[in-house]
Chains A and B, each alone.
Chain A
């Protein structure tokens, strides 16, 4: 004998996460188009590691493996982490990061639904702190590198660390658009001079700006299909835009345009795919605004004044800490008690 309701909407955690994975595909496709198929290798490596770690942790925690491994959340963590680190990194980098994300930041905190921090961002934070050099070797888009590694050559570097004889790592990798901007500003160049450098396109970094658009398209799909609500991405992007805009208006030669910030680094994928992780974001509408605005401002401050080129991951993690507090203080008034002043 079970009790009402006897009917349920046909949806599940697994389907929701699958939709989110699907929404990443436009961005990934553009990534492959501009930077070659190496990213697919890291995604595959990350996925295998995530599923294996998930299964092992479920077994250790004596939980049923099948319903949890098929919920697609581990895969999503894997994909987001793979997209956050340079694709042409040694294979163990993504494996270590993913394993840490799943084992420590997810399962040691109680598994699905109980992790206070975004696992993919924990994985990223661990890698950038432990292996900072490996995390700077971003691929140069083919449009400007002139040299291009074949898929086999990319695999050979990822697994064996061997490049073709005539190439050095510097020839095929570069710092990101944000990183270059930061370094060159430190060296005394103006924003206009830096933007003239060949790595920059119309909005931000050549290639990466288009990938960011791909993620934004996926994000819009998620909003339209009601997998996520608009509050977090809109508030985040607005806060990032406003903060960057104020600095840019005050001193355009030292502070780059807000649009540059939108389409560089992890801003777009973060706004639609990382902040919107339901487990680690607030539950109330007001709380979502506070959380996303905080993350937007922090992202800008870390990018402009912090020690890391991008601030998305740390902004997310810092705001993750505040979620219980935000939720507690933003409880909406319930039916019939809205008029009452409390």
Chain B
């Protein structure tokens, strides 16, 4: 007998599973229209590859995966595409998304399809086929299965198949295990082969004895020797992937760690079933088992085509007039759907028709009295009362420090809170704020980087400019200096020349005193004497004739 482990805390809400397990799974009729969202998985929205007016066959791909993290979407039945537009979808955001609306022709005519020889097909090819078949995690996370079957070169010890189904009201996995155990096991074996895991452990809560018996019988029939069906104690949330891995293997996978790093991977039973149908029979993921329960006259499980409008489905179970809302999933983690007209998706495991009588609105919240009932039941060993305080006071740094990221939003804390505080809402708020801030921070970091570079560039240009300018100035100064020097030199030279000339002249002058007055001939001397005598006579006459103002006539 294998030793099971336990996780901290957990709660025991009333299960309400008997209501919907009285009748076998019924195939829901083809609805009047199918509204198939193109974004039903984690990752990128698939891209529509059909046009309005196109006739499509059952199983025909209508949305191709976009990018690595994405999956394909198919026409759930044959019919005509009547619209490709934004519609309200079954998602907690309550926002519309791109959907393909299909009017069924009622023929349910299949596209040509066939399975592959799994044993003789390369693992990479099998993964590709899973992606093409739109197989995603059907436990609610809708993560593309092709990516989860890649162990990333880690040595895989255990493949955990999750049939715990711990949420109250939900019985789709229970019924699937009871009725289609063999296909689940074939799928599990296929996934084990892809992961190269040593063993397969199938965990089922002990409140599902029929499912456990059916699965155990099937293991014996199929003769899978590396496979074991284990009954685990009923305690919410044992069906959380991390919790079930812990129960079955004792391994704890912290937030932000891939379970494959620890040698373990986990798939839901319905995912194993769908993977088998996709590879062995070539059937893409077109339908799933959905529990319709709550405020209905006969709760039961249906095999429902993806895209079936909610109200048409609930009508099959006998909807009641006082139903006010519909919850997708269970009462602990489910989503209050924005409208009764949204259609079911790959993530829809359960629809609970709800009335104020079934789920009365919560009593007004009182302050936290630190009674730590929340911490006592937290399966992630967190201190919810502290996280609440930090979230409430927008102290997100502290919330992260206290491991808010490890919160799986199972709702156990809010379930036991005597003060009726909607704790999970506070954590979702804090998480989304932290996410928004990290996105903002990333953008801000990028912007800062750009800004810093710009500053750097401007600075660099400035420096370069300044350098150039300085160079220029230096050049100019140098030029001026040399010009001045030249000028000075020229001037000096000129002055020199002038001076020299003057000197020369002076020197010349010394030797050349009035050459024309020297060595005069006697006649010249006589002429000069005569001129001088005439001038003297004229000066004398002029001095005497001053009274009658008459110029002397000479």
Contacts and interface: CB of A to CB of B under 8 A. Distances in A.
Q: Do A and B bind each other?
A: yes
9 contacts: A4-B329, A4-B332, A6-B336, A7-B359, A12-B418, A15-B418, A113-B419, A114-B367, A333-B381
Top 7 A-B residue pairs of the complex, sorted by shortest distance between their CB atoms: A336-B254, A5-B411, A113-B367, A336-B252, A278-B371, A335-B380, A6-B359
Interface of B: 7-8, 11, 13-14, 92, 94, 168, 242, 246, 252-255, 257, 325, 327, 329, 331-336, 338, 354, 359, 361-364, 366-372, 375-376, 379-383, 385-386, 402-403, 406, 411, 414-420, 422, 424-425, 428
Interface of B is mostly: loop
Nearest to B332: A5
B383 A283 contact: yes
A253 B44 CA distance: 81
Interface in A6-44: 6-9, 11-13, 15-16
A284 B384 CA distance: 11
Contact of A2 (B246, B376, B422): B422
A113 B420 contact: no
A331 interface: yes
A71 interface: yes
Interface of A is mostly: loop
A279 B253 contact: no
Nearest to A63: B367
A228 B14 CA distance: 23
A68 B424 CA distance: 23
A12 B369 CA distance: 11
B411 A4 contact: yes
A210 B422 CA distance: 44
A113 B252 contact: no
Contacts, number: 139
B258 to A, nearest CB: 12
Given A2-B336, A113-B367, A337-B403, A13 B362 contact: no
Given A6-B327, A283-B370, A283-B383, 11 more contacts: A2-B362, A3-B424, A6-B359, A112-B369, A113-B419, A278-B371, A332-B381, A334-B381, A336-B252, A336-B253, A336-B406
Contact of A336 (B257, B335, B364): B257
Nearest to A280: B370
Nearest to B9: A335
A71 B366 contact: yes
A296 B7 CA distance: 32
B254 A335 contact: yes
Contacts of A284: 375, 383
Nearest to B251: A336
Nearest to B419: A13
A341 interface: no
Contacts of A114: 367
Interface residues of A, number: 38
Nearest to B255: A336
A9 B366 contact: no
B354 A335 contact: no
A9 B375 CA distance: 15
A298 to B, nearest CB: 22
A7 B366 contact: no
A8 B383 contact: no
B408 to A, nearest CB: 9
A166 interface: no
Contacts of B242: 335-336
Nearest to A333: B381
A11 B416 contact: yes
A76 to B, nearest CB: 11
Given A2-B362, A278-B369, A279-B370, A16 B418 contact: yes
Interface core residue of A67, A73, A335 (most chain B CB under 10 Å)? A335
A13 B122 CA distance: 60
Contacts of B380: 334-335
B423 to A, nearest CB: 9
A13 B369 contact: yes
Interface in A237-261: none
A187 interface: no
Contacts of B371: 16, 278
Interface in A265-291: 278-279, 281, 283-284
B363 A337 contact: no
Given A5-B333, A9-B11, A331-B383, A278 B364 contact: no
Contact of A4 (B11, B333, B382, B418): B333
Contacts of A335: 7-8, 242, 246, 252, 254, 379-382, 406
A334 B168 contact: no
A224 B370 CA distance: 20
Interface string A133-165: 000000000000000000000000000000000
Interface core residue of B257, B329, B415 (most chain A CB under 10 Å)? B415
Contacts of B168: 7
Contacts of B402: 331
Contacts of A337: 252, 254, 403, 406
Given A2-B422, A68-B366, A71-B366, A7 B416 contact: no
Interface string A60-77: 000000011001010000
A186 interface: no
B369 A4 contact: no
A234 B7 CA distance: 25
A334 B369 contact: no
Contacts of B406: 334-337
Nearest to B334: A4
A278 B374 CA distance: 13
A271 B137 CA distance: 51
A335 B245 CA distance: 12
A1 interface: yes
